[in-house]
């Protein structure tokens, strides 16, 4: 075979894409952008286009606390300034207290040498901004790459609405079959399709964990006193209540309650809801004077048994769903993105197949152990704060008071939460 026919044969054999990312939520969209920026030809497949975000619209009911590590990734991807300037609630303090023992712990950015602990942002704003950046990065119906000396950047081919009906891993590629009848091939399939992950199920990857039998009731509320750029969280016997500072001066509540209690709270008339919420928050920010409509989300701990199968990896909630009490779900997902990108770049630099089992195992090993440790830590917190016997409550109070005085340990915890 001469050189030309050999090259043509290789081209015929090569998969059309480096990476196909399924799921364009915050994690999948960030992954697609990060991989394209790193020079991988990428496609993003999403079942539903995100709702348009508008500065004049009501604040999305779903918000997340973004840790500094997530802000750093979004900044690197060139989207953070737009998100921050659009609507982001910075917080520099965190006050967590126990309704039963009265013990409290405080985290303060300044005393740890930082300006802030993080930002409260709308899920929809983050996703929408990432989608805009994907559009601006070009690609449209192709995932063409511009390679120059020392630089390489690809567009992202976006397919939406698109759903994967099935896939087959082959020696040199993974072949995707879409509901539309179209087929795609890539060296690697990234499943970022959320906690219910159809791809994880198609790959036969099981999960472990537990159902908290709780729902998180969410709403945005106006309080009598200002939130002071502080994330407040009160642990009640029924579950934690967080009041997270929004950019417009209101607070976003995440109120975890047993199923039946959550249903009752959702059905309360507005005044009764404001009164109950005021009592649950111990009136720390005074009375609750106004609220938006409420919504609720079921809570569970769910960890995928493996993060990897043949030419496939799991990312974000597809790999791990955690209790929101530590506000870390998407932060873990964005750390998955960084690890995957760095792993694939290292493999390419070493001339390796980015979908090879030994490459994907490196990503899976690192992220699975880090995510599992965090998820079990959050679960342990949920269990400890559920203790109700007087002796255990007293022990918990003692432990929390002690921790609040142990500055080096507190700093370690804070740095860990920040992803530093």
Check binding of 193 to ligand FAD (CB under 6 A).
yes
Closest to ligand FAD by CB, 164 or 288:
164
Find the binder of ligand FAD among 35, 164, 221, 400 (CB under 6 A): 164
Output the CA–CA distances (angstroms, integers) from residue 10 to 5, 41, 115, in the order listed. Answer: 9, 17, 52
Regarding 83 and contact with ligand FAD (CB under 6 A), the answer is no
Please name the residue ranges forming H helices in 16-122: 26-37, 68-76, 80-87
Kind and range of the H or E run holding 309? strand 308-309
Q: Does 419 bind ligand FAD (CB under 6 A)?
A: no
Binding flag, residue 198, ligand FAD (CB under 6 A): yes
Nearer to ligand FAD, 63 or 288 (CB): 63
Please report how many Cα atoms fall inside a 13 Å half-sphere around the Cα of residue 204, on the Cβ side: 4
Dump the DSSP string for 181-222.
S-EEEEEEEEE---TT-HHHHHTT--EEEEEEEEEEEEEEEE
Q: Give helix 80-87 / helix 123-136 axis angle, nearest 10°.
A: 140
Binds ligand FAD (CB under 6 A): choice among 34, 45, 186, 280: 45
State the binding string over 265-284 for ligand FAD (x if CB under 6 A, else -). Answer: --------------------
> Contact, 262 vs 214, CB < 8 A?
yes
Residue selected from 59, 103, 192, 304 as contacting ligand FAD according to rule CB under 6 A: 192
Q: Is residue 329 within the footprint of ligand FAD (CB under 6 A)?
A: yes
How many residues bind ligand FAD (CB under 6 A)? The answer is 33
Q: Tell me: does residue 336 bind ligand FAD (CB under 6 A).
A: no
33 touching ligand FAD, by CB under 6 A? no
Residue 337 or 360 with smaller CB distance to ligand FAD = 337
State the minimum distance, in angstroms, from the CB of residue 81 to ligand FAD.
Answer: 20
User: Is residue 355 a contact residue for ligand FAD (CB under 6 A)?
Assistant: no
Q: Is 313 in the site for ligand FAD (CB under 6 A)?
A: no
Alpha carbons 255 and 295: distance in angstroms, whole number: 10
Q: Using CB under 6 A, which of the segments 22-30, 35-43, 201-209, 367-375 binds ligand FAD?
A: 22-30
Do residues 286 and 223 touch, judged by C-beta distance below 8 A?
yes
201 near ligand FAD (CB under 6 A): no
- Burial class of residue 401 in the structure, from the number of CB atoms within 10 Å of its CB (0-12 exposed, 13-18 middle, 19+ buried): middle
What residues form DSSP beta bridges with 328? none
Dist CA 88 CA 86 (whole Å): 7
By CB under 6 A, is residue 397 in contact with ligand FAD? no
Applying CB under 6 A, which residues contact ligand FAD? 22-28, 45-48, 64-65, 123, 163-164, 192-194, 198, 216, 218, 254, 297, 316-317, 324, 327-331, 333
């Amino acid at each position: 075979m001469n050189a030309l026919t050999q090259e043509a044969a290789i081209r015929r054999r090569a998969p059309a894409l480096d990476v196909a990312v399924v799921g364009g939520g915050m994690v999948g969209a960030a992954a697609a952008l990060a991989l394209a920026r790193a020079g991988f030809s990428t496609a993003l497949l999403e079942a539903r286009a995100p709702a348009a975000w508008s500065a004049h619209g009501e604040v999305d009911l779903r918000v997340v606390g973004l840790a500094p590590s997530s802000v750093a990734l979004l900044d690197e991807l060139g989207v953070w300034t737009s998100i921050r300037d659009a609507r982001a609630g910075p917080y520099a303090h965190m006050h967590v207290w126990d309704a039963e023992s009265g013990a409290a712990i405080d985290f303060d950015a300044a005393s740890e040498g930082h300006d802030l602990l993080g930002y409260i942002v709308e899920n929809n704003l983050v996703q929408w901004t990432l989608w805009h950046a994907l559009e601006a990065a070009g690609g449209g119906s192709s995932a063409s790459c511009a390679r120059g000396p020392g630089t390489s950047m690809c567009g992202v081919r976006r397919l939406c609405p698109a759903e994967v009906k099935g896939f087959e891993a082959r020696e040199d590629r993974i072949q995707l079959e879409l509901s539309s009848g179209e087929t795609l091939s890539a060296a690697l399939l990234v499943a970022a399709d959320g906690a219910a992950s159809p791809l994880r199920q198609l790959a036969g990857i099981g999960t472990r964990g537990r159902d908290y039998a709780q729902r998180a009731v969410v709403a945005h509320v106006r309080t009598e006193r200002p939130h002071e750029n502080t994330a407040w969280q009160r642990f009640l016997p029924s579950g934690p209540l967080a009041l997270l500072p929004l950019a417009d001066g209101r607070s976003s509540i995440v109120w975890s309650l047993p199923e039946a209690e959550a249903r009752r709270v959702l059905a309360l008339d507005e005044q009764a809801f404001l009164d109950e919420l005021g009592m649950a928050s111990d009136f720390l920010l005074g009375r609750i004077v106004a609220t938006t409509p409420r919504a609720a989300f079921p809570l569970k701990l769910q960890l995928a048994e493996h993060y990897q199968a043949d030419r496939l990896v799991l990312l974000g909630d597809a790999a791990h769903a955690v209790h929101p009490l530590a506000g870390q779900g998407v932060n873990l997902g964005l750390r998955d993105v960084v690890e995957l990108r760095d792993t694939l770049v290292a493999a390419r630099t070493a001339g390796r197949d980015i979908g090879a089992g030994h490459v994907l195992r490196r990503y899976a090993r690192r992220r699975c152990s880090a995510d599992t440790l965090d998820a079990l830590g959050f679960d342990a917190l949920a269990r400890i704060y559920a203790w109700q016997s007087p002796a255990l409550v007293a022990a918990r109070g003692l432990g929390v008071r002690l921790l609040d005085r142990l500055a080096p340990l507190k700093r370690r915890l804070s740095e860990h939460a920040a992803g530093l």
